[in-house]
A and B are shown apart, each in its own frame.
Chain A
Amino acid sequence: MNLMTALARLLIFPGLLFAVPAAWFFLWVERKAVALMQERIGPPFMQPFFDFVKLLAKNTPPRRGIGGMLMRAWPLIAVSGAAGAVGLLPVLPSSGGFEGDLILLLALLELPSMCIIAAGFSSRSIFGEIGSAREAALSVSYNIVFLLAILSVASSQHTFRLETLASMPDSPLRWLGIVAILVCLPAKLHINPFSLPNAEQEIYAGPMTEYAGPELAMWELAHGLEWVAGAGLVATLVAPHIGKGWLAAALFIALSLVMVLLLSTLAAATARLAIDTTVRFYWQCTLIFAVLAISSALFMRFRS
Chain B
Amino acid sequence: MNLWKRLICTCRRRSPWLFHMNSGSCNGCDIELVAALSPRYDAEQLGVRLEGSPRHADIVCVTGPVTRNAVSAIKTVYGQVCHPKAVIAIGSCPATTNVFIDSRTLAGPLEKHIPVDVFVPGCPPRPDAIIQGVAKAAEILAERGMKPPDAESAPAVEEAQP
**A interface residues (Cβ-Cβ under 8 A, vs B):** 31, 35, 38-44, 46-47, 49-51, 53-54, 57-63, 67-68, 71, 123-125, 127, 200-201, 203-205, 208-213, 216
Contacts and interface: CB of A to CB of B under 8 A. Distances in A.
Nearest to B145: A57
A54 B12 contact: yes
21 contacts: A35-B42, A38-B39, A40-B39, A41-B42, A41-B45, A44-B45, A49-B11, A54-B12, A57-B12, A58-B83, A59-B82, A59-B84, A59-B149, A61-B55, A61-B162, A124-B161, A201-B52, A205-B53, A209-B55, A210-B55, A212-B55
B42 A40 contact: yes
Contact of A212 (B7, B47, B56): B56
Interface centre among A53, A71, A213 (most CB of B within 10 A): A53
Contacts of A124: 161-162
B82 A212 contact: yes
Which 6 A-B residue pairs are closest in the complex by CB-CB distance? A53-B11, A212-B55, A204-B52, A40-B42, A205-B53, A54-B11
A60 B82 contact: yes
B45 A57 contact: no
B76 interface: no
Chain A binding surface, main DSSP class: loop
A209 B56 CA distance: 8
Nearest to A204: B52
Given A59-B83, A209-B55, A212-B56, 4 more contacts: A47-B14, A47-B15, A63-B162, A205-B52
B42 A61 contact: no
Interface string B64-91: 0000000000000000101110000000
B159 interface: yes
B139 interface: no
Contacts of A61: 55, 80, 82, 159, 162
A50 B82 contact: no
Nearest to A122: B162
Contacts of A59: 82-84, 149
B47 A213 contact: no
B26 interface: no
Nearest to A46: B14
A204 B54 CA distance: 9
B44 interface: yes
B10 interface: yes
B38 to A, nearest CB: 9
Contacts of B45: 40-44
